[in-house]
Amino acid sequence: MLIRVKEMKINQKMVDALNGQINRELYSAYLYLGMSAYFESENLHGFAKWVRVQAGEERVHAMKFFDYIVERGGEVRLAPIDAPPTEWKSPLAAVENIYEHEQKVTAWIHELLELAMDEKDYATANMLQWFVSEQVEEEANAFDLVHKTKMLAGHGHALLCLDEELGKRE
């Protein structure tokens, strides 16, 4: 019986870059779990749930890259994940960090797309379009959270109302 190994349909440079993105997506999940722990310690359980759900989304993103590499015949190589911060000076500082981080993720996705186009890897470029659209939504949600948190700074009761709203995220 002849067993065939999948033929590599994607170049190694692209595989290496996508493996790097798996690590960044898993770090994002780790970062959001760290934020969830911070918000729990501040008794902001709705904020904690919101970022915990976000952490789950980041794990899904990592698995999309993982599955894509496998589907294209590449080898997934997992790297160590850096420890994220777990303390912020305020809830506002934490949500500002979310927005800044999502901007970084957007830049990384754009770099991957540029690489795919430079390598004439149109299949990968097509797959990355989903992430481009996703990052528009991610940045908008993070910006909205920063804006609302800024508006409510110093108004504890209002912040608790936002906390309750955020806790409804599924």
Quick one: pLDDT at residue 4?
Answer: 46
Mean pLDDT of 39-60: 97
The domain containing residue 47 runs over which residues?
12-78+88-150
| pLDDT score at 6 | 61
2 occurs within a structural domain: no
Q: What is the rounded CA–CA span in Å between residue 140 and residue 118?
A: 29
pLDDT score of 55 more than 70: yes
State the pLDDT at residue 32. 98
Q: Is residue 168 part of a domain?
A: no
Name the DSSP class of 79.
Answer: -
Q: Does 163 reside within a domain? A: no
Tokens standing for residue 90: 């305020």
What does the mean pLDDT of the chain come to?
94
61: in domain: yes
Q: CATH code at 39? A: 1.20.1260.10
**The pLDDT value given to residue 2:** 47
User: How many residues are recorded in the chain?
Assistant: 170
pLDDT of 71? 94
Within a domain: residue 46?
yes
Residue type for position 144: D
Q: Total structural domains in the chain?
A: 1
- Work out whether the CA dihedral 125, 62, 107, 50 comes out positive or negative: positive
pLDDT tens column, 14-27: 999 999 999 999 99
Q: Which pLDDT value is given to residue 110? A: 98
Let me know if residue 140 belongs to a domain: yes
In a domain, 156, yes or no: no
- Residue 144 lies inside a defined structural domain of this protein: yes
Tell me what the mean pLDDT of segment 56-62 comes to.
98
pLDDT, average across residues 74-88: 95
User: What digits encode the pLDDT tens for the residues 106-137?
Assistant: 999 999 999 999 999 999 999 999 999 999 99
Average pLDDT rounded to a whole number, residues 54-77? 97
Per-residue pLDDT at 14:
97
